[in-house]
A and B are shown apart, each in its own frame.
Chain A
């Protein structure tokens, strides 16, 4: 029974990984769609994120190692550019672009830690940058203001969405705690530059 469950779990993770890489779905949406595609009972236990993460890395390594590396590089360049522009708000990059599993479908997620929560939005207003305000759940489950803007990425020849999550300065304290897989969940511009100078294999494995 357990062996059966494991194999279903792995199969779901593999299908979901394909959806993440090829269609840019988020993990939760990809898992739900995988359940549907495999015709499983809606109450089937879903694979956890580390499992899906491993499946995503495997999928990339098998099907698109070169294009993914180029896409990732381009997105990290865009992220660095915006981190420089928003340097006053202590930007920290997270998500797939930080962890190295991003493809051209991925959005850029970064946390801003501001003294004045309104200042980031005012900076966008003052630069007449068009953005879309919203709210997301932060890592403690609290509502966090999210500002989404669209930026042109010439290297990819397409638009890329940048999501800015606006936190209080105090939130920075818990922000760098390692996650369940022992990885740093996000990093600032300097950390990103360090990451980009490493060889691709090291990037895949990624520091604790």
Chain B
């Protein structure tokens, strides 16, 4: 009986969330222009990794980079991580880099990575990560947010929301 109640409640959720949010979502999930200096600021930022190591972006410059803002409690983010991991495995030999920036509590991220280890580096962006993603053209800080940076260190492509295989294939052609 309890399980029924849980299932029934959630079947209406997609419709309800859609009805309530579709109009809002339409403008909320359109990327904004990248703030001036945001790219420069991005390339000098440093993050802490899951094991306490330093992820210094200065050393990442000069190669194509896919940055993914995510959180452990964002279902589409969690769904797309294996896809990004596969992308990283296929394209790393061609020079691609992938960075996951977790806008979440470090302890939650560490627990999560134990269950689902990722090949690409992860940085703990914390709440400051929301601001960084806003500066990079994500007006509300919604997740997931993915930014593709080119060899020159400029933003080539952005996507608010879950990435698809088609997006990744297109991005792989960009650089």
Question: Which of B6, B13, B127 lies in contact with A130, CB distance below 8 A?
Answer: B13
Contact of B16 with A by CB under 8 A: yes
**Is B71's CB within 8 Å of the partner chain A?**
yes
Check A133/B16 contact, CB under 8 A, given A23-B2, A24-B2, A150-B9.
Answer: yes
Judge whether B108 and A127 touch: CB under 8 Å. Answer: no
Complex partner residue of B142 from A125, A131, A133, A158, CB under 8 angstroms: A125
Question: For A131, what are the chain B residues with a Cβ–Cβ distance below 8 Å?
Answer: 13, 17
Residues of chain B lying within 8 A (CB to CB) of residue A125: 21, 24-25, 28, 142
Bound form: Cα–Cα A148–B77 in Å: 20
Q: How would residues 120 to 139 of chain A score, 1 for a CB under 8 Å from any chain B CB and 0 otherwise? A: 00100111111111000000
Contact pattern, A 46-88, Cβ under 8 Å of B = 1, otherwise 0: 0000000000000000000000000000000000011011001
Interface pair A126/B143, CB less than 8 Å apart: yes
Contacts of B141 in A (CB 8 A): 126
CB distance from B117 to the nearest CB of A (A): 17
Total A-B contacts with CB atoms under 8 angstroms apart: 68
Binary interface encoding of chain B residues 97-126 relative to chain A, with 1 for a CB under 8 A from any of its CBs, else 0? 000000011011000000000000000000
In this complex, the interface size class of chain A, counting residues with CB under 8 Å from chain B, is 20 to 34
Grouping DSSP codes into helix (H, G, I), strand (E, B) and loop, the A interface class, with mixed when no group exceeds half, is mixed
A52 to B: closest C-beta gap in Å: 19
Chain B residues near A130 (CB, 8 Å)? 10, 13-14, 17, 75
A108 to B67, CA, bound (A): 35
User: Is A133 within 8 A of B20, CB to CB?
Assistant: yes
Residues of A contacting B74 with CB < 8 Å? Answer: 127-129
A80 → chain B, closest Cβ, in Å? 10
A156-176 CB mask vs B (1 if < 8 Å, else 0) is 001101000000000000000
16 CB contacts below 8 A, A to B, read: A23-B2, A24-B2, A82-B73, A88-B127, A125-B28, A128-B142, A129-B73, A129-B74, A129-B75, A130-B13, A130-B17, A132-B10, A132-B12, A133-B16, A133-B20, A159-B3
A-binding residues in B (CB < 8 A): 1-3, 6, 9-10, 12-14, 16-17, 20-21, 24-25, 28, 71, 73-77, 104-105, 107-108, 127, 140-144, 161-162
Interface residues of A (CB under 8 A from B): 23-24, 81-82, 84-85, 88, 105, 122, 125-133, 148, 150, 158-159, 161
Other 16 A-B pairs with CB < 8 A, given A23-B1, A85-B73, A128-B143 = A24-B1, A24-B2, A82-B73, A126-B140, A126-B141, A127-B73, A127-B142, A128-B144, A129-B73, A130-B17, A131-B17, A132-B9, A148-B9, A150-B10, A150-B13, A161-B9
